[in-house]
Amino acid sequence: MAQVFAYAVIFLSWTIVTGEGGMLWLCQITFAGIGAITTADLATNHGWPVLAGVLAGGLIAMVVGLVIGFLSIRLGDLYVALVTLTFGLLVETLVFTLPSFVNDGLGLSLNRPGFATSDRACAYLCLVAFVAVSLLIVVFRRSTAGLAMNAVRWSDAGARTIGISVVRMKVTVAAFGALIAGLGGGLLAIAQTSVLPNEFQTFLGVVWLAVVVTTGIRSTAAAMVAAISFVMLPALTQAYLPTWTGNLLPLFFGLGAISAAQHPEGSLAELGRSFRNRLLRIADRGATQPSVYNVPARSTETDTNSSREAPVIVESFP
């Protein structure tokens, strides 16, 4: 569960960048790797407190996100996706393969904070981080900057017409997303107590994105569901199904992402909408069903065949 909450924090970076900013960044896993490697390196080799290393990794990822945003956002959405994909591949090839990080295939190890040495305490730590980041995203949505970003997402030209700087808003959101991804990577390193650079391959990040898009790209709750699916489903498959079935999970996530063309808000929002509509139909059906009462007739005439008075049917509607 500690890994689930750490992955949920990383997935929130797509919630803010793609869900709120409307930009397709394909290097969020690279930012997570920067945060994880920075945390482990500072904590193990330089004697930093672990949580300080997590914060430093997030800040470094934010600075890198700012630079990439300034260089690519003016080029257009398609070039942003290509530039971020290229950046992820370059970092994966040139930085994550350094001998000091690979360490003969052993990676980097680190100790958890003193108050979170157990798995339960570490899970609570990552859960608190997820809740805090989720609240920040909610506050951002309701703020002036969030409303401006919403206008930019719907129409760049319309946002410029009312005086909003499109580039500045997108760069801000991109830096915020890189910060969240870096923090999530540091938390993942704490949860695993080790970091292997090959865990942050760029094309694996595409699978991560597919999982998030399948559940819901704009929902913080969907990020948690996506993390649970990404961590728990392979574990269940490995425990109870043949080994080869584990290779089918990325395919299923990809097919789920394709379904976003029909349900852009994701499967979680669609299930919630269907459940709500079903409840409304049940409530309407119960409200419009007529009620029948046997009310004595007020006529003074008696029935010749029976001493009882004829019933009167009364229909009541709301």
**pLDDT, tens digit, 9 for 90 and up, residues 303-318:** 444 444 445 444 444 4
The CA-atom distances, in angstroms, between 202 and each of 3, 6, 86, 92, 162 are: 19, 18, 9, 7, 38
Q: CA-CA distance, 237 to 173, in Å (whole number)?
A: 36
Beta strand 194-195 with 108-109 is: antiparallel
Per-residue pLDDT, averaged over 180-205, amounts to 92
pLDDT at 38: 93
Backbone angles phi, psi at 143, to 5 degrees: -85, 170
Q: CA-CA distance, 114 to 159, in Å (whole number)?
A: 48
Q: What is the pTM of this model?
A: 0.79
Encoded tokens for 154: 């719907």
93 burial level (CB within 10 Å; 0-12, 13-18, 19+): exposed
Please, are residues 72 and 86 in contact by the beta-carbon 8 Å criterion?
Answer: no
Instruction: Summarize pLDDT for 226-245 with one digit per residue, the tens.
Output: 899 888 877 777 777 776 66
Residue that is written with structure tokens 């004829």 in the block: 310
User: Considering the chain, what is the average pLDDT of its residues?
Assistant: 82
pLDDT at 248: 65
Encoded tokens for 202: 């760029």
Encoded tokens for 258: 């394709």
Q: CA-CA distance, 181 to 192, in Å (whole number)?
A: 16
Instruction: Summarize pLDDT for 256-286 with one digit per residue, the tens.
Output: 556 555 555 555 555 666 667 677 777 777 6
